[in-house]
Structure 1
């Protein structure tokens, strides 16, 4: 099925959440809702305490940053804000060398070291802004600076990554900005530590599963997760939240999978990615730009192996947006990440890349089936087991117009 068919039609989102611009001016309504998001991030996601130092690292001038500053002060904590626009980052990378990137990295890591918490906010104005940056320098930037910073942040008990809804992201999703903002705000309904109880049946099911089988158009893939731990993304480290993930045993992945959601990375868009695996390693690749994708996979040995298997559970997200920050949480989807594995639910794979590739199994995207130990667990994005029926109700409510 052509990946273009996946781009969502313009539609209204749940009446009480639609952020239409009327009476109060639209933006005022959104500001009120955004204040609630800022409060959630400070008090529920990060659980900030008086005296803690928080680095807010933003790539754009958007209204959430000043709201976060206020909420951080309200919590008795101390905000430090660093804003560097994508255009500035681009020029820093374009003229960089290994030495300049290492200097930049040391400076950033030194500042982060003195912090108790970290918030990284991406606010894209052009999703293709890095298209004309030399690929070798872009990869070196990710290797020497971006990934070490995220690794250092993830070593702290309090850290958070989020992708702010901008015009560029809305255009990529073929949505109005109001729709994307409504989705972002509504994701708070499906985040929070209380969700551990709601999604506990999924976690328990994963932990007693040995073999996973994924079937969709162009897809017949199997692997083992026997004995592997799982982790729920509840918005405490990644917002929007709403996925549960584990990792296949390294040599157990066999078969082929076709990802029907476009993957954006390094300033490029890859569509219709098809991977064929043999004993855990990618042995064949085709996509809209196979040569560029192979270049990403060729960075190290771990880039051709799977470091993560995840299931999307967020019913506020039912259409691809164009960034894994949203798409991997999409209800009715699964994803595999080529590259580095997360230690809390990992398989030991080590890589300088982590590429989340998403397959939607919702009916409108071609459908599909997910089996655990040959038991059908989800069909066309709908859970089939009695103990998971409450998740289907949320999906129907979340996708209502």
Structure 2
């Protein structure tokens, strides 16, 4: 990626996403492959008069650590991380994974205790600090997207530099409508699902916490989910990609889970009680992201999509569910993916990926580009 584009991206992260000010402390964490952008972030932070701190991540080393993790060991690490997050004002996390299956051989029990012990410190910064997460272009990510590295670099810049201020304004009517809504119904091939979002806040995501971005999220009332939802995109978790995932709920609880690896997916949902309840419901609107690539930071923002999330609820839209997992699963409702409808209180608000109501049409792709 050219230096000028990296500088533009760094300025977006520093000024729009975390709104870094002079004398503030920013933790910049990134994979070793992301050093070109990390250098731009350090230089940009200094230009703002802020204090940057760097941590480099190496997945190969981390895989060796994961294989032997014990609770006592992780608790020490979690305490360190919490102190670190308490000491900074903002966090910028630049992922640059070359192989998303790097951790697929780690036993599920090690993943479980990682989530159990480390999630409290992670959710501390998610809920109490300004933060942003970005995926850096790598050969592995370009391959997942089915593109050459140079083409993927161009694509990433396009999706990351959408007019987020315009998007944020267009999202406000959807946020207000969601906060007035009680009953939601989702209908698609293999999907007929109902739940309530009454009394749960809706949150606009327009470039502050994720780059790329483009979603409005809330959470179902915990015991209100009934019916079946079938996902038409790959669902990746802990280094394993699941396909043809179908989940059935009764009074909020997941009672039947199917996939191409049914036994393994049910092991994940057996992590704890909260793993069988939903912590998030969101609608994706980024006009530049159209096809799934197996990377959730992109896939959950696909225009004409929604995602439904077993596990932990976010504090901003909290339905009380607690879990060591938070697994976003994406359903695309555009015609080429089988179509579908979203109803709020029995009124059709989106059909085949396009918003119907006049106040929401500003979120359709032609309006946001």
Identify the TM-score tier after normalising by the shorter chain.
Answer: over 0.9
Q: CA deviation at 1:194?
A: 5.0
* Counterpart secondary structure, 1:61: helix
TM-score by length of 1: 0.87
TM-score by length of 2: 0.95
Distance 1:347 1:215 in 2: 23
Q: Give 1:317-396 correspondences, 5 Å limit.
A: 317-394=289-366
Q: Give 1:217-228 correspondences, 5 Å limit.
A: 217-228=189-200
Give yes or no for the alignment of 1:158 onto 2:130.
yes
1:93 to 66, 76, 97: 66
Q: What are the superposed Cα offsets for residues 291-327 of structure 1, whole Å, 9 maximum, x if unpaired?
A: 1111111111111011111000111111112122111
Q: CA deviation at 1:290?
A: 1.3
Q: Give 1:75-90 correspondences, 5 Å limit.
A: 75-90=48-63
Which sits farther off after the overlay, 303-312 or 319-328?
319-328
Which sections of structure 2, spanning at least 5 residues, go unmatched?
Answer: none
* Counterpart secondary structure, 2:287: coil
For the Cα contact (< 8 Å) 2:183–2:196, is it kept in 1? Answer: yes
Q: CA deviation at 1:107?
A: 2.6
2:241 to 239, 261, 269: 269
Which sits farther off after the overlay, 216-225 or 164-173?
164-173
Distance 1:134 1:251 in 2: 31
2:4 to 32, 41, 45: 32
Aligned to 1:144: 117
Aligned to 1:113: 86
Which sections of structure 1, spanning at least 5 residues, go unmatched?
Answer: 1-26
For the Cα contact (< 8 Å) 1:116–1:156, is it kept in 2? Answer: no
* Counterpart secondary structure, 1:367: coil
Distance 1:305 1:92 in 2: 30
Aligned to 1:304: 276
Distance 1:365 1:52 in 2: 45
Equivalenced residues, count: 368
For the Cα contact (< 8 Å) 2:231–2:329, is it kept in 1? Answer: yes
For the Cα contact (< 8 Å) 1:306–1:349, is it kept in 2? Answer: yes
Cα-Cα RMSD = 1.7
